């Protein structure tokens, strides 16, 4: 696929995508390997919603990620795997080796009865086998559901049950920094509640002692010995589901966002090549985890579709010391580096001595994703990592969008700290006011919507199409609503200001405040809780929980600990509140709704200017909360 190579070409392409979106995307799609071509490019209606791309087209995404590179690039390295411990051996996997390993494991899945359309859950650390298992699912047309390995047994069970997965793939354990986590034990706790799982396939990573249930649990290394390393890919329809990935919303349980094969494939490669301006011999590294959408699109699919060489890292940025990222950049001569603002801020706190120790001159492009990047972190990244000659691409997108929608194109679009800048060709953003009217012109602010479909957009919420319609397409009829607030400056550049709903973004992890509240409320002495986000120096947003305890609850410090443990058990340690304030009441309207706006202000340290409090049932509650705020 040819990439855009100048700003005037970007403008040209953007115009073409507006004038004739179908022709525009048909041209991009035609660079892939289809078993049979589509008969219609697009069918859409944001009311139902129905979104279909490349209708009638037949393909398998793994043929495009692997098989099509074999002839000319079979010996090219696909994955450069760097283990958690720098003293352990790294691993190189070429395209032809990856092809074999994917086919082999796909055969294992078939041996375990997996069929096209089945849901398969992956609960694994960042090891090459996670990529292999993901692609093996896609090879046989099974729908993968990757669950981030930091989630608790309860969260894992909820996700397995929501989509009735019949196979779970996991490991004995995992390494993260100086910690060793027994993933199989967590999986076992989850599986007690999962009736649909028939096989659990376990890759040996740590070699620790684990229990294996006969007839359910199987070792990866035993199973691959029983199969061949070749398998013709299953033919998929362009609109057959490729994967489900759970993400949080303002209410209810996490939603299983569904992406389908054809459109996702086209947009993953298109956005990867253009945003990062990927060149044939570049070394690319995205530090995300495959458990999140960034890992799906920009560790697995985008880079492999483009035939690139990527670094995959098992560990954490601060182990064995805070120079680890930069050491890896030097070791592999990384050209394109993609990380999250929270990681930049965390490393910034250790000063410049670590990056100074390493030769970072190979870097050309620095990416940022997951949350707004603050100006200070942007400049630090630019100066100390990019040596002021890299292009910083602040990429805005979401689990639901499947790929980057608003971002500079590296070294092409003028960058501006804290701005995601301009939409990619094919993307039609708009800002709307509270009445849902579109705000025209520049120098304006509103809620960010997208008014025309793009190939990798969400198709549905697995098992709940009505929820998909209500959450994304009903608030501003005729438009996809992102949940983000946004400014458009006088140059027409977009700056994402953060969520306008009850979703918080903690260290780039998206969480529903209701989800954290539900976790807290599981503690038997908690009567009610309200959770809000507040500005946090490293995490972007921290979690502030206001909690009402049962009367006469004593030993508040002990309770604080217990509540934290409850949240870790219910969700995972990423959802642990940073601050807990025990209160005797919460500010509620007469209809019983908690006024989070007020709680947010108090959490931010604001004690006056709380806005209109006249609708509160008991305004005195606020004075109490302010008096005791932390």
Which residues contact ligand PRX (rule: CB under 6 A)?
Answer: 247, 292-294, 368-372, 394-399, 420, 482-484, 496, 499, 505, 510
Nearer to ligand PRX, 328 or 393 (CB): 393
33 DSSP assignment: -
d(CA 500, CA 483): 6
The CB-of-248 to ligand PRX minimum distance in angstroms stands at 8
The upper half-sphere exposure of residue 505, i.e. CA atoms within 13 Å in the direction of its Cβ, equals 20
The CB-of-627 to ligand PRX minimum distance in angstroms stands at 33
Nearer to ligand PRX, 497 or 624 (CB): 497
Nearer to ligand PRX, 259 or 499 (CB): 499
The CB-of-510 to ligand PRX minimum distance in angstroms stands at 4
The CB-of-420 to ligand PRX minimum distance in angstroms stands at 5
Nearer to ligand PRX, 368 or 460 (CB): 368
Nearer to ligand PRX, 42 or 458 (CB): 458
146 DSSP assignment: E
d(CA 135, CA 102): 6
Nearer to ligand PRX, 312 or 393 (CB): 393
d(CA 335, CA 630): 44
Nearer to ligand PRX, 100 or 509 (CB): 509
Nearer to ligand PRX, 415 or 529 (CB): 415
Nearer to ligand PRX, 234 or 399 (CB): 399
The CB-of-407 to ligand PRX minimum distance in angstroms stands at 7
Nearest to 517 by CA among 508, 507, 509, 527: 527
Nearer to ligand PRX, 301 or 332 (CB): 301
The CB-of-292 to ligand PRX minimum distance in angstroms stands at 6
**8 A C-beta contact, residue 198 and residue 182:** no
Sign of CA dihedral 54, 55, 60, 62: positive
DSSP string of 331-379? HHT-SEEEE-HHHHHHHHTT-SHHHHTS--TT--EEEEESSPPPHHHHH
Nearer to ligand PRX, 325 or 396 (CB): 396
What are φ and ψ of residue 564, in 5° steps?
-60, -45
Secondary structure, 3-state, 225-243: HHCCCCCCCCCEECCCEEE
Measured CA angle at 245 (ends 502, 280), to 5 deg: 115
DSSP string of 208-274? ------TTTEEEHHHHGGGS-S--PPPPEETTSEEEEEEE--SSSSPEEEEEEHHHHHHHHHHHHHH
The CB-of-505 to ligand PRX minimum distance in angstroms stands at 5
458-469 exposure pattern, b = at least 16 Cβ within 10 A, e = fewer: bbbbbebeebbb
Specify the length of the chain in residues: 630
Nearer to ligand PRX, 83 or 341 (CB): 341
Chain-centre distance of CA 30, in angstroms?
Answer: 28
d(CA 314, CA 155): 22
Cβ-proximal residue to ligand PRX, closest one: 399
The CB-of-397 to ligand PRX minimum distance in angstroms stands at 5
The CB-of-616 to ligand PRX minimum distance in angstroms stands at 29
What is the number of other CB atoms lying within 10 angstroms of the CB of residue 620? 10
The CB-of-427 to ligand PRX minimum distance in angstroms stands at 14
Sheet of 143-146: strand order equals 217-219, 199-203, 167-171, 119-123, 143-146, 241-247, 255-260, 460-461
Nearer to ligand PRX, 258 or 294 (CB): 294
The CB-of-373 to ligand PRX minimum distance in angstroms stands at 7
Nearer to ligand PRX, 486 or 586 (CB): 486
The CB-of-303 to ligand PRX minimum distance in angstroms stands at 16
Residue 91, Cβ density class (10 Å: 0-12 exposed, 13-18 middle, ≥19 buried): middle
**8 A C-beta contact, residue 491 and residue 442:** yes
Per the rule left: phi > 0, alpha: psi between -120 and 50, beta: everything else, 215 is: left
The CB-of-127 to ligand PRX minimum distance in angstroms stands at 22
The CB-of-185 to ligand PRX minimum distance in angstroms stands at 27
Per the rule left: phi > 0, alpha: psi between -120 and 50, beta: everything else, 135 is: alpha
Nearest to 21 by CA among 448, 473, 455, 398: 455
Residue 68, Cβ density class (10 Å: 0-12 exposed, 13-18 middle, ≥19 buried): middle
DSSP 3-state helix, strand, coil percentages of the chain (rounded to 5)?
35, 25, 40
Nearer to ligand PRX, 499 or 523 (CB): 499
The CB-of-370 to ligand PRX minimum distance in angstroms stands at 5
């Amino acid at each position: 696929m040819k990439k855009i190579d100048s700003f005037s070409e970007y403008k040209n392409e953007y115009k073409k995508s507006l004038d004739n979106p179908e022709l525009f995307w048909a041209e991009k799609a035609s660079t892939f390997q289809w078993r049979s071509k589509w008969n219609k490019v697009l069918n859409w209606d944001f009311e139902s919603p129905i979104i279909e791309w490349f209708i009638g087209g037949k393909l398998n995404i793994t043929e495009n990620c692997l098989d099509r590179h074999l002839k000319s690039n079979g010996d090219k390295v696909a994955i450069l795997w760097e283990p958690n411990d720098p003293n352990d051996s790294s691993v190189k996997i070429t395209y032809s080796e990856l092809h074999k390993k994917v086919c082999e494991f796909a055969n294992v899945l078939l041996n375990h009865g997996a069929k096209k359309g089945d849901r398969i859950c992956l609960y694994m650390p960042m090891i090459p086998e996670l990529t292999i298992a993901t692609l093996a699912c896609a090879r046989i047309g099974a729908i993968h559901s990757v669950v981030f390995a930091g989630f608790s047994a309860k969260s894992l069970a909820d996700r397995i049950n929501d989509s009735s997965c019949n196979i779970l793939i996991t490991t004995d354990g995992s390494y993260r920094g100086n910690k060793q986590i027994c993933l199989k034990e967590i999986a076992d706790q989850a599986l007690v509640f999962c009736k649909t799982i028939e096989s659990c396939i376990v890759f040996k990573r740590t070699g620790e002692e684990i229990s294996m249930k006969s007839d359910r649990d199987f070792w990866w290394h035993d199973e691959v010995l029983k199969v061949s390393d070749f398998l013709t890919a299953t033919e998929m329809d362009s609109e057959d589901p490729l994967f489900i990935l759970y993400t949080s919303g303002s209410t209810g349980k996490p939603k299983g966002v569904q992406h389908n094969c054809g459109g996702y494939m086209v947009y993953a490669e298109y956005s990867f090549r253009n945003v990062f301006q990927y060149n044939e011999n570049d070394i690319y590294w995205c530090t995300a985890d495959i458990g999140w959408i960034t890992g799906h699109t920009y560790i697995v699919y985008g880079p492999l579709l483009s035939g690139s060489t990527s670094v995959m890292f098992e560990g954490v940025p601060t182990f064995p010391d805070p120079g680890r990222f930069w050491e890896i950049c030097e070791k592999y001569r990384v050209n394109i580096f993609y990380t999250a603002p929270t990681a930049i801020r965390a490393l910034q706190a250790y000063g410049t001595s670590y990056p100074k120790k390493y030769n970072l001159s190979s870097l050309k492009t620095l990416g940022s994703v997951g949350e707004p990047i603050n100006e200070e972190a942007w400049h630090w990244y630019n100066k100390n990592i990019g040596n002021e000659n890299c292009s910083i691409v602040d990429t805005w997108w979401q689990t639901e969008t499947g790929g980057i929608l608003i971002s500079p194109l590296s070294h092409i679009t003028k960058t501006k700290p804290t701005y995601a800048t301009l939409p990619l060709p094919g993307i039609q953003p708009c800002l709307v006011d509270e009445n849902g009217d579109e705000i025209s012109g520049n120098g304006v602010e509103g809620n960010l919507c997208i008014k025309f479909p793009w190939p990798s957009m969400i198709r549905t919420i697995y098992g709940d199409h009505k929820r998909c319609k209500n959450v994304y397409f009903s608030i501003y009829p005729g438009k996809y609503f992102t949940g983000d607030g946004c400014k458009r400056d006088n140059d027409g550049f977009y700056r994402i200001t953060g969520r306008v709903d009850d979703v918080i973004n903690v260290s780039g992890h998206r969480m529903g405040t209701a989800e954290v509240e539900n976790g807290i409320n599981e503690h038997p002495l908690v009567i009610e809780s309200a959770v809000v986000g507040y500005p946090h120096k490293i995490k972007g947003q921290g979690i502030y929980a206001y909690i009402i305890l049962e009367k006469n609850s004593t030993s508040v410090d002990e309770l604080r600990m217990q509540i934290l443990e409850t949240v870790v058990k219910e969700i995972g340690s990423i959802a642990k509140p940073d601050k807990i304030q025990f209160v005797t009441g919460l500010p509620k309207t007469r209809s019983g709704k908690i006024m989070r706006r007020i709680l947010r202000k108090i959490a931010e340290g604001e004690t006056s200017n709380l806005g209109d409090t006249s609708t509160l049932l008991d305004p005195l509650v606020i004075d109490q909360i302010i008096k005791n705020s932390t």
